[in-house]
Amino acid sequence: MAEKKNSKGKSGLGKGLGSLIQGTDAETGRNTDFTEIKISQIKPNPDQPRTDFSEEKLAELMQSIEKDGLLQPVLVRPDGGDYQIIAGERRWQACKKLGLKTIAAKILVANDAEAQEIALVENLQRDNLNAIEEARGYQRLIELRNCKQKDVAEAVSKNQATISNALRLLSLPEEVQDLMFDGLLTSGHGRAILAVPDEEGRIRLAKKIVDESLSVREAEALARLYGSQGIGHARRIPSPRSFKVVARKLRQQLATNVRVKNVRGKNRIEIEFKDEEDLERIYHALSDTGGT
C-alpha cells in the first residue's frame, strides 16, 4: 500500500503522487478509486504546508461540490483509530461546512516525512498559492530530500528558473515577506525590492509600494534609485561586546546558534532550531535555567 520512495537518491522526489491519483474516469474527471470515510474521523494535518485558505475560494469550492460532487478524493493516512489529511484539506473543509457526513478518500500508509513530501508536492503543483507559501514549500522540499533545485523543478513540473526566483524571495526581510503573504505585494514587486542592497531600504520601498499602490515597473524604477543613492542605507552600529559574550554563553547553554543584536534601534535575541522537537528541547533548557 505505501508508496516506496528512494531515501538515498533524488530521482524519487514527487514520483509517488501520480500513482496516488490513479483511477480517474477519462470522461468525467472523477476519481473512481476511493473509500468513503466519516468526516468526523478525519483530522487536519498540523504540518499542512498551506496556511492561507481564502474564504472566497472555499465558498466557490462548496458551490462546485454541491453542483458536481467531489471530483477528487482527499488523501489521508491512518492515525490511531482515525485518519489524518495528507492532501486535500480545502476539500475536507468544504464538505464539512456543507454538512456532509462522509467524504471520498484514498488511504495511504506513510510516515511523517513521506506525508509531508506528498502534501508539499500536491500543493506546489497548484497555481493558487501565494508567492511566499510557494517559496517556503520549495525550500522545505529541498531540506526534506536534501536535493537540488532542478529535482524540485522536475517534481512539481516547473522550470528551474521559476524555483530559483521563488527561493530568492526568502532573502527579503520578514516584514516584506509578511506583506507578500497577505497579498499586498506580488512576486514581481518582491523581485524589484531585491534590487535594493540593504534591509532598511527594502523595507522602506515595500511600504511605499503598498501605501502608494505602485506597479511593478514603478517599483523597479524606485529600486534602481534607492540602490544608486543609498536611500534607506543605515549606518551599522557595532554591537556592544557584552552582546557577543551573552550570545556565546547562550550558544553553549542551548547547543544551537544564537545571535544577540540591535535591529533598527531594537535589541533582539535570535535562537535557531531545527524542528518542533528541537524547539521543545530549547524551551526546557530555558525553563531549567530559571529564566536566566
Output the pLDDT for position 111. 82
The 3-state DSSP class for residue 268 equals strand
Residue-wise pLDDT tens digits, 98-132 = 999 999 999 988 888 788 778 778 777 665 678 88
Query: How much is the average pLDDT of 185-200?
Result: 92
Burial bucket for residue 241 (CB in 10 Å: 0-12, 13-18, 19+): exposed
Q: Whole-angstrom distance between the N-terminal and C-terminal Cα of the chain? A: 51
Output the pLDDT for position 3. 37
- Residue that the C-alpha cell 502608494 belongs to: 212
> Which amino acid is residue 170, in one-letter code?
L
Output the pLDDT for position 239. 65
Q: Which residue of the set 27, 36, 56, 89 is catalytic? A: 89
The alpha-helical segments, DSSP class H, found in 182-240 are 187-193, 199-212, 216-229
What domains, with CATH codes, occur in the chain?
Answer: 24-129 (3.90.1530.10), 172-229 (no CATH), 241-288 (no CATH)
The pTM (predicted TM-score) of the whole model is 0.55
The 3-state DSSP class for residue 263 equals strand
pLDDT band at 145 (very low <50, low <70, confident <90, very high): confident
C-alpha span between 26 and 78 (Å, rounded): 29
For the question of residue 89 being annotated catalytic, the response is: yes
Which has more confidence, 59 or 23? 59
C-alpha span between 111 and 2 (Å, rounded): 9
Residue-wise pLDDT tens digits, 29-74 = 444 568 899 999 999 887 665 655 667 778 888 999 888 888 889 8
